Chains A and B, each alone.
Chain A
Amino acid sequence: MPLELFRKRKAPQVPESLVDRGFLVFHNTSEVIWAERLLKSNGWKIAVKGPPPEIRTGCDLVIEFPLMEELNISRLLRENGTPPIKAVPVTDPLLEPVDLYKITDYGKFLMVRAANMKICIEKESALIVNVSGGGCPDVPYLAWEMVGKTLQEAPDPALIGQTLCGYALSLAFEEGRRLCSQ
């Protein structure tokens, strides 16, 4: 029997207007209220909601936010001392971020892919020679900032990226660093 049949589960039906939204989950209600104030004062379009059953943690509130901008929003919350426990898509709160890496060895170069993002590194110098993939508008910006710099010199996409593509690139970047330090 195909593996897929075991994994099939019915995702909650959500209105079309919510398919690009996510939920930020926190430890307790006071963190939610604090995070709500912080995000609203920074101009984010967010809303406090009751969580769906799949992600109830005891806290009875979550923050609905623009999912594509998860990296930027999570960074702001972290810098202000209230990182969320996790961020999940409204469409299916049980979905997990990609955690598979694909490595391509070109001999002199190594390419690391995480989700839709790829980073290519010259092994000997640790120089980032190319960034490819992705579709959010921070990808060409990140490529511009990173290509031609070494893994040590390049800005971390987790710090200057904004979107889920930036997040995926930060995973590939970290994996590239790990592989090149071995």
Chain B
Amino acid sequence: MFAVVGTVPRENFPLVSGKVLVDGSEIAIGDERVPINRGTPALLAAFERTAKTLGLESPFAYLAGDIGRGNGSALLYQLLEDDLPSRDFSGLVLHYIMPEIEGHRRMLKGVGGMKKKPFLVADAGAMYVGKMAGLASRYDLFTPDVGELAFLADEAAPHPFYTRGFILHEEDRVPCLIERAYRHQNAPRILMVKGQTDYAADSGGILGTVDSPSIPALEAIGGTGDTLTGIVSALVSSGMDLVKACLKAFQINRFAGQLANPDPSTQVDRIIEHIPEAIEKAEKTGEG
């Protein structure tokens, strides 16, 4: 089973853990419900929809309320240090969380206490802190967009806010940024870069790309990167070959976007609704 770790944007939301189900426009975990709009709830909804369609297990989640003050993130880091050694998750997906070195160290201590190292995915704040700590190579998968890739490629930047301009100017040259991120050991086993063209890469270079259907509006829609991370995590949890899972996830995310017929004002829950149909379409076309 895979576990997802992240925060939800409600100050009074308690620290909770358990299996996640999608119920209409909300995710349900224990007695708590959270709207699926973006962030970790969107990742969880995409994971659950993919898993349900493919007959896989729903994700487990550790969630806490945090509106940016770091209090919920601190609770999550502490819980992971304490709880993970008694768990046997095959994968851990780390998402919206305050990038904080000491908390990250404690979380990795918890991972180190597990009997078998889980497959480690990081996106959003968890990806930032993994790179910041110089421990990106401990992870199996990062899912940056092109701007975040520039941050990974900039060995000096502690946060994307400080990415140097001469590297940001390289954004049209994704393969160069990927090479630079690996050269400075700021990338995991596999990088999934989402953009106009999606790239799967490792330290040896580009492993595959997906560039159709092309839906420019998706870049503007908050949560479309979160859905991609959710979809690929579900596919990897099925035991699928990692590179195949990355390319298939790119394809499914694009098809779901296409089926929603979006414009830049579309909200991500409408795209998540189309994931089952997008999976079917990807199977039929044999793409990805």
A-to-B contact residues, CB < 8 Å: 3-4, 7, 11, 16-17, 19-20, 66-69, 72, 89, 91-92, 95-100, 104, 106, 108-109, 111, 113, 115-116, 118, 120, 122, 127, 129-144, 147, 161-168
Contacts and interface: CB of A to CB of B under 8 A. Distances in A.
A44 B123 CA distance: 27
Given A7-B166, A99-B165, 18 more contacts: A3-B166, A19-B132, A20-B99, A66-B70, A91-B156, A98-B161, A100-B168, A115-B163, A130-B266, A135-B99, A135-B125, A136-B68, A137-B68, A137-B97, A143-B9, A163-B68, A164-B161, A165-B161
13 contacts: A17-B102, A66-B100, A67-B158, A68-B159, A89-B158, A131-B38, A132-B224, A136-B68, A137-B125, A138-B68, A144-B9, A161-B68, A162-B68
Interface string B68-89: 1110110000000000000000
Q: Is the interface of A mostly helix, strand, loop or mixed?
A: mixed
Nearest to B10: A141
Given A19-B158, A130-B222, A140 B100 contact: no
A37 B239 CA distance: 54
A161 B96 CA distance: 15
Interface residues of B, number: 62
A120 B265 contact: yes
A91 B266 CA distance: 39
Contact of A143 (B217, B222, B264): B222
Contacts of A16: 101, 133-134
A72 B134 CA distance: 26
Interface of B: 7-9, 37-40, 66-70, 72-73, 96-102, 123-129, 132-134, 145, 147-148, 151, 156-166, 168-169, 216-217, 219-225, 263-267
A4 B216 CA distance: 31
